[in-house]
Amino acid sequence: MIIEDKVERAISLYREASVCEREGRLGDALAKFRQATRIVHKEPDIDRIIRNRTHYEQRQQRHHRLVETEGEKIVEKKNKSAVSSDGEEDLQAQNYYTFGTVEQDTPLLLNGNSLANGMAALLLPDEEYNRVPTDSRFNPKNQAIPTPISKLPSEIITHLIRWSLVLDFSSLPEIASTCKYFHHQTLTQALWRWLCRKHYTANNILNTSVVMLNAQLAQKYRKCWLTLWIEKPRPSLEGYLRLFADGSMLLWTTSVEPSKALKDLNGIMEIPNHTYSLELALGRKKNLSKKEAREKAASVAALKGLLFGSWRLEDDVLVMNSTVDGVYWILTPISPVQAQNPKDAEWCEVNDENMILPGNKVPEWDIIATGWLIKAKIFTK
């Protein structure tokens, strides 16, 4: 199939680009990334395809290695045991929209013409990246003396800039105008997201570590991160944030009544007329597991599955796939329904039979956590 070939080519380019990136050849890396995205510009989920495929290959390799060293039976047993780190990775292999890796984002560059005013200029260009100065990120001012900073790898420079901004945010203009490389660092999504998270987590407010975006959404949401940082609304809720391809946001919060939570976030979130706030119970069927430790692990994993798992928002029904000990969960807005068959877990319809009204608890379910799902549109102005 022509499309398949294209994707394959893009994937191999993408991989080559990652290698270049790791070796510090940023110019080559960017050229290859551009080529890859140009080939599949209609396929926005290339990141996800690659991530899933890489993850799948790694698991296969690990599995084979384990089987070789420890024999089939033991491996089977390991797979069955309560959520180990493998289970965690399982959850993370679900369908994310991702923007770069968590550790290091590819710096995104300014299109020269888009330098308008402060906020607008910080928007990412729609398509082409300009070339990054490659091997010489720092040119020495005085050739005679050494430039020790050029020894440091990119992620440490990022770290330095982040810490500088944490200690004194008003040094941003000076840092940005030091040199092109520093400037690029201040334009990355990752920096602003990090700052938001540091701020919010320190105050135990909003855990945004589940937020991942694809490159096309990054443009929109970057502004949101920046706005979030500037406005610093202080919602008094504890929660997790998930963003979706259609621009909706889901906020899972356990601490506070939803209309209050929404009011707090009003500065940066556009609340449409039909906002849903649904009380949701995450349940686990009783007597599923006899061992105390396994139960605890399973419920924690289930909660993580809720947050990190693959979600679909389909006509306002939230469908979540997660595997914990081979159990599949479907969360409708109100009722958790256990699927018999993984295939059935694709999605389900909410109807009168499986809809449970709040306060009307189903006896066979242990309620692990309750919270509110708030659906709202991200600030788009």
Partner 1 sequence: MVKLTSSDLVEFSVERTVAERSVLLKNMLEDIGDSDDSAIPLPNVNAGILKKVLEYCERHKNDALPATDTAPDVDDFGAAAQKKSGSDDIDEWDSAFIKVDNDLLFEIILAANYLDIKALLDLGCKTVANMIKGKSAEQIRDMFNIENDFTPEEEEQIRRENEWAADI
Whose Cβ is closer to partner 1: residue 117's or residue 351's?
A: 117
Burial class (CB within 10 angstroms; exposed 0-12, middle 13-18, buried 19+) of 115:
exposed
- Segment 316-320 long-range contacts (CB within 8 Å, at least 24 positions apart): 316/276, 316/375, 317/347, 317/348, 317/349, 317/350, 318/250, 318/280, 318/373, 319/345, 319/346, 319/347, 319/348
Structure tokens at 168: 């004194």
CB of 301 to partner 1, least distance (A): 14
Contact at 8 Å (CB) between 191 and 185?
yes
Whose Cβ is closer to partner 1: residue 52's or residue 209's?
A: 209
CB of 360 to partner 1, least distance (A): 37
CB of 162 to partner 1, least distance (A): 8
Beta bridge partners of 339: 328
CB of 266 to partner 1, least distance (A): 20
Whose Cβ is closer to partner 1: residue 193's or residue 284's?
A: 193
CB of 208 to partner 1, least distance (A): 10
- Buried b / exposed e along 147-162 (16+ C-beta atoms within 10 A): eeeeeeebeebbeebb
Cβ neighbours of residue 236 closer than 8 Å, sequence gap 6 or more = 205, 255, 256, 260, 264
Whose Cβ is closer to partner 1: residue 44's or residue 233's?
A: 233
Whose Cβ is closer to partner 1: residue 179's or residue 362's?
A: 179
CB of 56 to partner 1, least distance (A): 20
Whose Cβ is closer to partner 1: residue 11's or residue 108's?
A: 108
Please name which of 323, 319, 322 lies closest in space to residue 354, comparing C-alpha atoms. 319
Binding site for partner 1 (CB under 8 A): 85, 102-103, 115, 117-119, 121-122, 133, 138-142, 145-149, 151-153, 156, 159-161, 163-164, 166-180, 183, 186, 190, 194, 197-198, 201-202, 204, 209, 230
Q: How far apart are the first and last CA of the chain?
A: 41
Whose Cβ is closer to partner 1: residue 221's or residue 328's?
A: 221
CB of 149 to partner 1, least distance (A): 4
d(CA 314, CA 321) in angstroms, rounded, equals: 13
Q: Which amino acid is at 331?
A: L
Cβ neighbours of residue 96 closer than 8 Å, sequence gap 6 or more = 48, 51, 212, 310
Whose Cβ is closer to partner 1: residue 146's or residue 272's?
A: 146
d(CA 54, CA 51) in angstroms, rounded, equals: 5
Structure tokens at 324: 């914990």
CB of 22 to partner 1, least distance (A): 15
Contact at 8 Å (CB) between 25 and 51?
no
